[in-house]
Amino acid sequence: MPLFWRIFLLNAVVFVTATALLLGPVTVSTPVLVTEAVILAVGLAAMLIANALLLRIGLAPLQRLARAMTTADLLRPGTRPAAGGHGEVAELITTFNTMLDRLEAERATSTARVLTAQESERHRIAQELHDEVGQTLTAVLLDLKHVADRAPEPVREQLHQVQETTRAGLDEIRRIARRLRPGVLEELGLTSALKSLAGEFSGPSLSVRHRIAPDLPPLSENAELVLYRVAQESLTNTARHAGAGHVTLTLERTPDAVELRVRDDGRGLGGSPEGAGIQGMRERALLIGADLALGPARDSGDGDTGGSVPARGTEVRLTVPLDPPAAATHSPAAATHHRSQ
């Protein structure tokens, strides 16, 4: 029975009963006697309690639905509210769950298209940097060497300094191109790509250790790309914002998944909101049905930190299931990435 009719009929029963009692054995005197006032108060209290219980029971599913609405996040798919209640209440909850399913599917599809376009654009920019700017600077270096070999001594020293500056710019362009388009990932695989990535971020102020298990199962190209990009974004955030001195990058196999962990000893997340980089990592994780978790670094006691990372800082954990959903495995991003190679 719909909620409206249940409330209406309960009120009707209470009012009809009260009216019948007033017309029959129960009368009200003037002035009102104490016993009559007590009977009326008890009747009123019974009516209010009955209405409160019915509203509490009938509206409880709506309260759960309201909480689900306020906490719903398309980047963090969670459990759906149970379709409790009766009539239009259950229908409303079922409709809301269907709407969430549709929104998550549409978000995943649009995100796949956006990330596919982003990877294609990165590939194009990296190619142009390598073929156009890189070749131009290489030609400039050769011309400078040719001129420096024939220049007098005072000018030759200055030309050598210009050569070093140009060579440093060329190295920086090549480094940017490698980050935009992980050629080592396509050519040598995920393990070599992550080791190379850890080496790129290691320097005087930041030590990046890596522990990559040798028994990793075969992964799809899209899953390897997501793992690489999440590791890259995590190391970038650590180098720019964490103020960390040590980072540990771990990739290992669990019974039913492959898990990537990037743990640092920096200042931690604090109460800062998630930026575009973290949102991008969550969107990439959704494409392959993976779970992304960020929080304070925990000292797991498994020895993967080598004693260099204490139990503080930030940990990024990406768990990629070995049997991902079919929709994620055959996402547009995977197909387009495969065609781009």
- Overall pTM > 0.85: no
Q: How many Å apart are CA 126 and CA 177, to the nearest integer?
A: 4
Let me know: does 162 contact 155? Beta carbons within 8 Å.
no
Q: Does domain 182-341 have CATH number 1.10.10.10?
A: no
pLDDT (0 to 100) of residue 305? 43
With a cut of 70, list the residues of the chain below it in pLDDT: 1-4, 19, 21-30, 32-33, 36, 58, 72-79, 81-89, 111, 270-273, 298-311, 323-341
If you search the block for the tokens 């990330």, which residue do you land on?
Answer: 115
Where in the chain are the domains? 3-71+82-106, 182-341
Give the sheet arrangement for strand 257-264, strand by strand. 207-212, 246-254, 257-264, 314-321, 291-296
Q: How many Å apart are CA 76 and CA 286, to the nearest integer?
A: 8
Q: Kindly report the length of the chain.
A: 341
Measured in degrees and rounded to the nearest 5, phi and psi for residue 207 equal -105, 120
Let me know: does 74 contact 99? Beta carbons within 8 Å.
no
276 is written with which tokens?
A: 């575009």
Which distant-in-sequence residues (6+ apart) come within 8 Å of 45 by Cβ?
none
pLDDT per residue as tens digits for the range 155-169 = 878 888 888 888 888
**Quick one: 38 exposed, middle or buried, by C-beta within 10 A (0-12, 13-18, 19+)?**
exposed
pLDDT per residue as tens digits for the range 23-76 = 666 566 667 667 767 777 777 787 778 777 777 776 777 777 777 777 766 666
DSSP 218: P
DSSP 141: H
Let me know: does 264 contact 297? Beta carbons within 8 Å.
yes
Which distant-in-sequence residues (6+ apart) come within 8 Å of 144 by Cβ?
159, 162, 163, 166
* Paired sense of beta strands 207-212 and 246-254, if any: parallel
pLDDT (0 to 100) of residue 172? 82
